[in-house]
């Protein structure tokens, strides 16, 4: 069930917490009350620098960022997060400016731009998109971590496997024995958790996605 529809029925189940960064205490209090009413985990920060000091210790979540803040604006905060290797989905909230202009200023991982005061239904719809996006991001990171365990030779072999090459072709191309190829393929399957060539291809495609 979409999150917005679930909210209308009074129940929302989200897999990850919301990190709210806004220097306006009234906005923080209002949004926290809204999230708590639907039993959505939320952690509020009174500014971007406070958030940046703690973000490396936090589990993945959805970022709800004020656009205009005195220390760093939303765009600058996004750049700092990207520099830390954090690309969790972002929802921007703002009481200023043209939302269309705001959209042109931000790149990937910005799910939506919402005007203050934030409409709850629009917020829940944006969170639904953020949940789907974060799931994709984390799956990609998990797959990248698995591929990072492969040796250079194993990477070479899986690339050929994904191109549809058989073990004999790989052995001839790399000038190694068939037994060596099979041993490498067994190691690859153990590390990646599958023997399926189709799944190898899907995993490769997942880590190649931007």
Question: pLDDT of 81-130, one tens digit each?
Answer: 989 988 899 999 988 766 666 666 566 568 988 988 999 999 999 999 99
Would you state the pLDDT for residue 187? 96
Q: What is the pTM of this model?
A: 0.76
- Per-residue pLDDT, averaged over 22-34, amounts to 95
Question: Which burial class, exposed, middle or buried, applies to 60 when counting CB atoms under 10 A from its CB (0-12, 13-18, 19+)?
Answer: middle
Q: Report the C-alpha gap between 183 and 178 in whole angstroms.
A: 9
Is residue 161 a contact partner of residue 170, using CB atoms and an 8 Å limit?
A: yes
**Cα–Cα nearest to 73, from 42, 47, 110:** 47
Question: Over the stretch 124-164, which tens digit does the pLDDT of each residue have?
Answer: 999 999 999 998 888 888 999 999 999 999 999 999 999 99
Helix (H) or strand (E) holding 3: helix 3-8
Q: Which residues contact 165 (CB under 8 A, 6 or more apart)?
A: 173
The DSSP 8-state label assigned to residue 27 in this structure reads H
DSSP string spanning 65-92? EES--SSS-HHHHHHHHHHTT----EEE
Quick one: how many helices (H) and strands (E) in the chain?
10, 5
Secondary structure (3-state) at 14:
coil
């Amino acid at each position: 069930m979409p999150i917005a529809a679930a909210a209308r029925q009074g129940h929302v189940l989200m897999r990850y917490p919301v990190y709210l960064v806004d220097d306006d205490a009234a906005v923080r209090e209002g949004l926290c009350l809204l999230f708590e009413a639907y039993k959505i985990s939320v952690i509020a920060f009174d500014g971007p620098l406070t958030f940046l000091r703690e973000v490396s210790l936090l589990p993945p979540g959805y970022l709800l960022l004020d656009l205009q803040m005195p220390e760093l604006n939303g765009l600058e905060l996004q750049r700092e997060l990207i520099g830390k290797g954090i690309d969790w989905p972002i929802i921007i909230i703002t009481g200023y400016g043209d939302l269309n202009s705001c959209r042109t200023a931000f790149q990937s991982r910005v799910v939506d731009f919402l005007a203050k005061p934030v409409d709850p239904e629009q917020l829940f719809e944006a969170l639904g998109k953020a949940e789907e996006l974060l799931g994709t991001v984390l799956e990609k990171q998990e797959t990248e971590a698995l591929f990072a365990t492969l040796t250079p030779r194993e990477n070479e072999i899986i690339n050929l496997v994904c191109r549809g090459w058989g073990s004999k072709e790989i052995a001839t191309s790399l000038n190694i024995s068939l037994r060596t190829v099979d041993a490498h393929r067994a190691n690859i399957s153990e590390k990646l958790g599958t023997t399926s060539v189709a799944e190898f291809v899907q995993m490769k495609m997942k880590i190649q996605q931007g």
